[in-house]
Amino acid sequence: MSDEAERPKRRQRYRGTHPRRFEEKYKELDPARDPETVAKVIASGKTPAGSHLPVMVEECLAALKLVPGQCGVDATLGHGGHAVRILERIGAEGFLVGLDVDPLERPKTEARLRGLGFDGSVFEGVKSNYAGISKVVGERFPEGVDFVFADLGCSSMQLDDPARGFSFKTAGPLDMRMNPGRGLSAAEWIERVDAEDFEKVLMEHADEPRAGALAGALAGRRFGDTLELVRAVREAMPMMDEEVVGLAVRRVFQAVRIAVNDEFSSLDAFLRVLPGCLKAGGRAVILTFHSGEDRRVKKAFQQGEREGIYQSVSDGVVVAGGEERRMNPRSVPAKLRWAVKA
């Protein structure tokens, strides 16, 4: 054995009192090494860096009505928080396929689930857009599945990692792609879009009341990083109340993210093929996080019920309880809807 192998590894220390890099700053990035820090972060109402607190888990499980032995799809695997609870319910006789477009996070989640004992006999991770769910289901379950679950949008791992460019709080490349290997980055998209189309995107994707003025100020420009875009939004709204400007920054980031990832086209395609993936009596449960998503899910479910494709759909939306809203601010805008295949 070499000297190197015998010597205990030194814990990497922060350089200085203000660590600059994401990996240095958050000890909870390695939860196995620092479980106490993780517990403290969760108790303070925050999400540990590099992980994702699953939203409305009990409400989702109640709507899915899982029984042991069922087979289904988690269309948005993310950190696997919902997937683990689903796997526990369907047991060793059941099977879950987990889809995700993110090539960086999906392998980590798969490894985590394998580490928890969910082997290939009960779980398979697949790199796929949920728009392609019928191919995935058709190849594995030609008779359809018992349930499909989706928890739309981004994970905390994606939002919190400055290198992914989703965050308006920290400097990073203006990217925002859930799959960085496909399509235009946010910087390229803004550089190519004209003011008219940008205005539409700001209105349709984020209900931005100052869409026209912001689109005029931002469209066609090349931004070097996330904070440059934040500065440009601020400059386009001089003399405005800080709260209004802050909301505009959030909305611009949300609208651009949805455009860059073509989120609404994927959701529309998913909702169209979803009934064809379910067995009779199979259940679809979807969590949405803003009005553009919820409108689409509501319309598809209600239309499906009128046409006799679904035997029943949720009357209204289910929302997170007070305690969860307090503990996890990301649960506040969440809306759950379900539908049962006829």
Ligand X SMILES: C[S@@+](CC[C@H](N)C(=O)[O-])C[C@H]1O[C@@H](n2cnc3c(N)ncnc32)[C@H](O)[C@@H]1O
Sheet with 335-341, side-by-side order of all strands: 123-127, 95-100, 71-74, 145-151, 278-288, 335-341, 310-313
Alpha-carbon 338 to chain mean position: 18
> Which one of residues 50, 54, 275, 304 is an interface residue with ligand X (CB under 6 A)?
54
* CA distance readout (Å), 269 to 25, 220, 300: 40, 29, 11
Which range binds ligand X by CB under 6 A, 41-49, 93-101, 241-249, 309-317? 93-101
Nearer to ligand X, 52 or 210 (CB): 52
Nearer to ligand X, 167 or 218 (CB): 167
Cβ at position 318, least distance to ligand X in Å: 16
H or E stretch including 142? none
Task: Decide if residue 328 touches ligand X (CB under 6 A).
Answer: no
Cβ at position 297, least distance to ligand X in Å: 14
Which range binds ligand X by CB under 6 A, 21-29, 71-79, 229-237, 290-298? 71-79
Nearer to ligand X, 78 or 144 (CB): 78
Nearer to ligand X, 175 or 199 (CB): 175
Distance CA 105, CA 76 (A): 11
Task: Decide if residue 331 touches ligand X (CB under 6 A).
Answer: no
Query: Considering only residues 94-153, where is the footprint of ligand X by CB under 6 A?
Result: 99-102, 105, 129-130, 151, 153
DSSP state of 277: H
Cβ at position 123, least distance to ligand X in Å: 14
Residue 281 CB contacts under 8 Å (≥ 6 apart), including other chains = 146, 311, 340, 341
> Which one of residues 48, 50, 72, 78 is an interface residue with ligand X (CB under 6 A)?
78
Q: If binding means CB under 6 A, how many residues of this protein chain bind ligand X?
A: 21
> Which one of residues 28, 49, 79, 285 is an interface residue with ligand X (CB under 6 A)?
79
Task: Decide if residue 72 touches ligand X (CB under 6 A).
Answer: no
Which range binds ligand X by CB under 6 A, 79-87, 110-118, 195-203, 275-283? 79-87
Task: Decide if residue 205 touches ligand X (CB under 6 A).
Answer: no
Task: Decide if residue 63 touches ligand X (CB under 6 A).
Answer: no
Tokens describing residue 218: 């931002």
Residue 99's SS3 state is: strand
H or E stretch including 333? none
Residue 110 CB contacts under 8 Å (≥ 6 apart), including other chains = 98, 125
Which has the closest alpha carbon to 105: 85, 134, 84, 76?
76
Cβ at position 179, least distance to ligand X in Å: 8
Nearer to ligand X, 61 or 342 (CB): 61
Cβ at position 82, least distance to ligand X in Å: 4
**Alpha helices (H) in the chain, listed in sequence order:** 3-6, 22-25, 35-43, 57-64, 81-90, 105-115, 133-140, 156-160, 186-192, 195-206, 211-218, 226-236, 242-260, 263-277, 291-306, 322-327
Task: Decide if residue 161 touches ligand X (CB under 6 A).
Answer: no
Binding mask 162-201 for ligand X (x = CB under 6 A): ----------------x-----------------------
Task: Decide if residue 286 touches ligand X (CB under 6 A).
Answer: no
* CA distance readout (Å), 8 to 5, 28, 32, 114, 315: 8, 21, 18, 28, 60
Distance CA 42, CA 47 (A): 6
Task: Decide if residue 291 touches ligand X (CB under 6 A).
Answer: no
Nearer to ligand X, 155 or 167 (CB): 155
Task: Decide if residue 155 touches ligand X (CB under 6 A).
Answer: yes
DSSP state of 94: -
Q: Which residues bind ligand X (CB under 6 A)?
A: 52, 54, 76, 78-82, 99-102, 105, 129-130, 151, 153-155, 178, 266
